[in-house]
Amino acid sequence: MMFSSKKSPFPIFLFQLPLALLITFLFVFSALGLEARFAIYGDTRSNPEIHRQIVQQIVNHQPEATFHTGDLNSSGKTQKEYDNFLQIISPLCQFNRFFPARGNHEKDLALFLQNFPYLNGSSYYTVYQDSIRFIILDSVLDLSPGSAQFNWLQKQLKVDIPSLLILHHPVFSSGEHSDELGLQLFLPELLQNSSVKAVFSAHDHNYERSEFKGITYIVTGGGGAPLRENKHENPYSLVLIKTYHYLIGEREGKSIIFKVYGLDHNIIDSFTLKDM
């Protein structure tokens, strides 16, 4: 699937072109140095007040797209939960598109998809925002080698477009869950020779930045779920902060500059992804 944000500079007809021709257009536009600004946050779950604060702060940055790393709700089993969630993010949806990853607390897959009909019935999908491809996975579904989702991901990675990967469960984490799914056994190797520059996840309720073989791994689970202490050793961890937060990514030339903001508007971390 392909999406474009409401403010995307790409005309609609581009998304009807053959893939090879679309890629050519993407790189031409990339060379022109288009602006891009987007937000990433997650694990909002059971604290609507914190979630509202984060949404309002993101609105102030005026991103072109917002990505959620999963666990939107406490259980994801009732429409009332989604009604409350959609009401909170409504200020964001007035001017940009909102793209969620499914977390383990979105227990009812059909209900999740029903509330985001523009995902066209799939909880794993791609989004093109300016010259960047976002690959959103459903780590609640089978992602192991040989699975339908793994094979789909392999196919996406064959196309050489600067990409960011988003899923709920982390690959590298010092938090309570650590690598709960055993993603370290196959995902870093799969990404190693791809155009993926960074992986964004949640599940552990803090902020952490790790680096492994040239790829940045971010845990951003500070959207309102109860904050937790670190419990596992992560030898690749560079920054670990127990706080509510969100990320803003913004293009500067061929790089994306990320700034991580706490609730008091202070920058708690920053990093740069090059060749984007």
- Contact between residue 258 and residue 237 where contact means Cβ atoms under 8 Å apart: no
Q: What distances in angstroms separate CA 50 from CA 12, 42, 90, 182, 244, one per listed residue?
A: 36, 12, 15, 31, 8
Q: Where are the domains of the chain?
A: 12-273
CATH code of the domain occupying 12-273: 3.60.21.10
Selection from 226, 199, 202, 81 nearest residue 140 by Cα: 202
Kindly tell me the number of DSSP H helices and DSSP E strands found in the chain: 6, 13
pLDDT tens for the 276 residues of the chain, in order? 445 333 333 333 333 344 444 443 343 333 333 458 999 999 999 899 999 999 999 999 999 999 999 999 999 999 999 999 999 999 999 989 999 999 999 999 999 999 999 999 999 999 998 889 999 999 999 999 999 999 999 999 999 999 999 999 999 999 878 787 889 999 999 999 999 999 999 999 999 999 999 999 999 999 999 998 887 889 999 999 999 999 999 999 999 999 999 999 999 999 999 999
Whether the model clears a pTM of 0.75, i.e. scores above it, the answer is: yes
Q: How far apart are CA 63 and CA 200, in angstroms?
A: 17
